């Protein structure tokens, strides 16, 4: 029996409190930090919710002011957080951002060990929730958090396969969480189950030794995982894709950098938006690069962009002031 979809996308992952000093200040000497939230899966969820897609984000959070803050801010943007498992006495992950401008890099200091979601009992999450969604979205960070998270991610993929819900999987290798070998082995089945597989060029090389020209790397990913849609993200070089034997390249949109964090997640959200709207893949990729460019122009992980603004950016309307 087929479930009626309640959500366009459902995801599972960790969202953290994000603390960052004002522009031009360094973390060590800052006297005030801006409080925001960030997590790759919920970043995608928020961007989609702002584009008016019904989405749900599932995770575990401690019932303290910081945990409630994460849920509340997601709710603000319209993300359904009713699937969240609330825990007494745990902690949230926190990450500190030392935002740089060239040639000084932005540096991330994670303090995420032992978070509520990393220590969650897998039986607390019901994998069949995916049946009520059109897409399942996961990233390679979640299996890296803990064996429990890995089990949950696997159960969700299995439930999705049973219910014929497609998986959008973003490799997102985090070197601070695990080794390339462990990641490569663990993530391969996820990649092989994905309908849309997203992988950055550096991750493709680090995990699976795929190097050479972007086209060669893309071919390597396709041959290895056979995803119906394979996307190789190239940073300022845009995105290279293959689907049904056809090749696509969409260059990045130039943007004034305010905050780079979350640009990749905005790209994923833009592509999913396109697929949900059933435009062709080239157009979906254009949504992706446009949403990534717009994200970069604002503080925080989140791409707070309306459909109207996304369309305007794609049309390339040259006006600097709208009034």
C-alpha 306/C-alpha 166 separation (Å) is 25
Closest CA to 251 of 306, 213, 290, 203: 290
The residue behind tokens 């973390």 is 27
Question: Binding its own copies by CB under 8 A: which of 6, 150, 224, 260?
Answer: 260
Question: Binding its own copies by CB under 8 A: which of 84, 156, 234, 293?
Answer: 293
What is the number of other CB atoms lying within 10 angstroms of the CB of residue 252? 20
Question: Binding its own copies by CB under 8 A: which of 4, 244, 256, 278?
Answer: 256
Smaller CB separation from its own copies, 244 or 323: 323
Q: Are 203 and 180 in contact (CB under 8 A)?
A: no
C-alpha 57/C-alpha 76 separation (Å) is 13
Question: Residue 107, interface with its own copies (CB under 8 A)?
Answer: yes
Smaller CB separation from its own copies, 127 or 270: 270
In whole angstroms, how close is the CB of 132 to its own copies at the nearest point? 18
Mark whether 280 is an active-site residue.
no
Q: Which stretch binds its own copies (CB under 8 A): 7-15, 91-99, 117-125, 153-161?
A: 91-99
Question: Which 134-193 positions form the footprint of its own copies (CB under 8 A)?
Answer: 174, 176
The residue behind tokens 């959500």 is 7
Question: Binding its own copies by CB under 8 A: which of 52, 104, 211, 247?
Answer: 104
Smaller CB separation from its own copies, 133 or 261: 261
Question: Which 47-76 positions form the footprint of its own copies (CB under 8 A)?
Answer: 64-66, 68-69, 72-73, 75-76
Show Cβ contacts of residue 245 under 8 Å, excluding neighbours closer than 6 positions. none
Question: Residue 3, interface with its own copies (CB under 8 A)?
Answer: no
C-alpha 79/C-alpha 64 separation (Å) is 20
Residue 77 per-residue DSSP state: T
Q: Which residues belong to the active site? A: 265
């Amino acid at each position: 029996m087929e479930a009626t979809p309640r959500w366009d996308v459902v995801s599972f992952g960790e969202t953290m409190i994000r603390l960052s000093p004002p522009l031009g200040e360094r973390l060590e000497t800052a006297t005030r930090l801006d409080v925001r939230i960030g997590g790759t899966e919920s970043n995608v969820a928020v961007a989609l919710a702002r584009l008016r897609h019904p989405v749900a984000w599932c995770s575990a959070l401690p019932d303290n002011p910081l945990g409630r803050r994460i849920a509340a801010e997601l709710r603000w943007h319209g993300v359904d957080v009713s699937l969240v498992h609330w825990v007494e006495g745990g902690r949230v992950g926190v990450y500190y951002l030392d935002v740089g401008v060239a040639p000084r890099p932005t540096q991330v200091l994670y303090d995420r060990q032992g978070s509520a979601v990393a220590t969650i009992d897998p039986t607390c999450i019901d994998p069949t929730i995916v049946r009520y969604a059109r897409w399942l979205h996961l990233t390679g960070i979640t299996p890296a958090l803990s064996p429990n998270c890995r089990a949950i991610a696997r159960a969700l993929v299995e439930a999705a396969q049973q219910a014929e819900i497609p998986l959008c999987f973003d490799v997102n290798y985090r070197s601070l969480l695990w080794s390339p070998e462990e990641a490569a082995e663990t993530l391969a089945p996820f990649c092989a189950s994905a309908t849309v597989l997203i992988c950055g060029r550096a991750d493709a090389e680090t995990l699976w030794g795929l190097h050479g020209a972007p086209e060669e790397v893309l071919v390597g990913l396709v041959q290895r995982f056979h995803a119906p849609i394979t996307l190789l993200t190239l940073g300022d070089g845009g995105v290279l894709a293959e689907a049904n034997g056809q090749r696509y390249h969409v260059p990045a949109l130039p943007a004034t950098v305010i905050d780079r964090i979350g640009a990749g997640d905005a790209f994923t959200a833009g592509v999913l938006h396109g697929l949900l709207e059933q435009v062709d893949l080239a157009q979906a990729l254009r949504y992706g690069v446009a949403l990534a460019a717009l994200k970069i122009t604002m503080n925080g992980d989140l791409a707070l962009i309306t459909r109207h603004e996304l369309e305007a950016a794609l049309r390339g309307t040259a006006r600097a002031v709208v009034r």
